[in-house]
Amino acid sequence: MTVAGPAGRLEALLDEPAGPPRAVAIVCHPHPLHQGTMHNKVTHTLARTFKRLGAAAVRFNFRGVGESEGEHDGGAGEQDDVAAVAAWCRERWPGFVPFLAGFSFGAATAYLTAERLGARALVTVALPVARVGRAPPPACPWLAVHGERDDVVPVAALREWLETIAPRPELALLDDADHFFHGRLPALRDAVAAFLAGRFPELGEETSDAARAR
What residues have CB less than 8 Å from 179, skipping those under 6 apart? 104, 126, 147, 150, 151, 152, 153
The predicted model scores a pTM of 0.94
**Proportion of the chain above pLDDT 90, given as a percent:** 95
Q: Is residue 191 part of a domain?
A: yes
Q: Is residue 213 part of a domain?
A: no
Which tens digit of pLDDT belongs to each residue from 97-125? 999 999 999 999 999 999 999 999 999 99
Checking if the pLDDT of 212 tops 80, the result is: no
Q: Which domain holds residue 162?
A: 2-201
Indicate which CATH number applies to the domain containing 46.
3.40.50.1820
Checking if the pLDDT of 184 tops 80, the result is: yes
The predicted pLDDT at position 208 comes to: 39
Q: Is residue 209 part of a domain?
A: no
- Per-residue pLDDT band at 211 (split at 50, 70, 90): very low
Q: Is residue 214 part of a domain?
A: no
Q: Is residue 174 part of a domain?
A: yes
Q: Is residue 59 part of a domain?
A: yes
Tally of domains in the chain: 1
Residue spans of alpha helices (H) in the chain: 41-52, 76-92, 105-117, 129-132, 155-162, 185-199, 209-213
- Per-residue pLDDT band at 214 (split at 50, 70, 90): very low
Checking if the pLDDT of 185 tops 80, the result is: yes
- Per-residue pLDDT band at 206 (split at 50, 70, 90): low
For the chain, state the CA radius of gyration.
16
Which tens digit of pLDDT belongs to each residue from 47-101? 999 999 999 999 999 999 999 999 999 999 999 999 999 999 999 999 999 999 9
φ and ψ at residue 116, rounded to 5 degrees: -55, -40
φ and ψ at residue 28, rounded to 5 degrees: -105, 135
Q: Is residue 211 part of a domain?
A: no
